[in-house]
Amino acid sequence: MNIRYYVMDACYMDELPENCFDLVTCFMALQDIRDYEKAVGQVARVLNNAGRFVFSIPHPCFETMIVKGRGIGATERYFGAARYPIQWNMKRLAKPFTTTAFHRTLTDYSNALHKNKLFISRFIEPKPTLRGLRRYPPLRKVLFRPQSIVIESEK
């Protein structure tokens, strides 16, 4: 099996021909792409007919955003887009760094898919398994509200 890897901006995948993939995935990254609508458009372009786009994002209904230096929950301010910094400072990192994330509503993501003729076929709000809870007890905090969502769409 030959595998070829490409490194490119999700909004500019011009090196790839139209209708060349059966499946495109995006794991916990679409919320970090400024022009997510353009990225979704590129996904639609490279998917073949009946192709699938599966992506996961932090659940926008329950995420915590940093707005004007203050952490606020999406329950305080769900509607309306927001841009906020994410601090990465886990022990496993060689050095801490900051990225930018964008809060968007479920309607925003749904509209971007619909505009590009990608139709939602599944919507999953994962929760920890018993095995996962035994191994990582802090997961108990997401037992009663989803931390993320997985959306599958079809062309």
- Structure confidence by residue, pLDDT tens digits, 88-139: 888 999 999 998 999 999 999 999 999 999 999 999 999 888 898 899 888 8
Q: Is residue 76 included in any domain, yes or no?
A: no
Q: What distance in Å separates the CA atoms of residue 45 and residue 41, rounded to the nearest whole number?
A: 6
Q: Is residue 73 included in any domain, yes or no?
A: no
Q: What distance in Å separates the CA atoms of residue 43 and residue 155, rounded to the nearest whole number?
A: 10
Q: What distance in Å separates the CA atoms of residue 68 and residue 7, rounded to the nearest whole number?
A: 33
Q: Which residues contact 117 (CB under 8 A, 6 or more apart)?
A: 44, 155
Q: Is the pTM of this model over 0.75?
A: yes
What backbone phi and psi angles, to 5 degrees, belong to 25? -120, 155
Q: Is residue 78 included in any domain, yes or no?
A: no
Q: What distance in Å separates the CA atoms of residue 1 and residue 91, rounded to the nearest whole number?
A: 37
Q: Which residues contact 133 (CB under 8 A, 6 or more apart)?
A: 139, 140, 143
Q: What is the DSSP letter of 93?
A: S
Q: Are strands 21-27 and 47-58 parallel, antiparallel or unpaired?
A: parallel
pLDDT in the model for residue 56: 98
Q: How many CB atoms lie within 10 A of CB 134?
A: 10
Q: Is residue 42 included in any domain, yes or no?
A: yes
Q: Is residue 112 included in any domain, yes or no?
A: yes
What residue numbers bound the domain in which 34 lies?
Answer: 21-63+104-154
CATH number, position 51: 3.40.50.150
Q: Is residue 2 included in any domain, yes or no?
A: no
Q: Is residue 98 included in any domain, yes or no?
A: no
**Tell me: the pLDDT tens digits for 7-24?**
899 999 999 999 999 999
Judge whether residue 27 has pLDDT over 90: yes
Judge whether residue 71 has pLDDT over 70: no
pLDDT in the model for residue 72: 63
Judge whether residue 68 has pLDDT over 90: no
Domain count, the chain: 1
- What is the average pLDDT value for the chain, to the nearest integer? 90
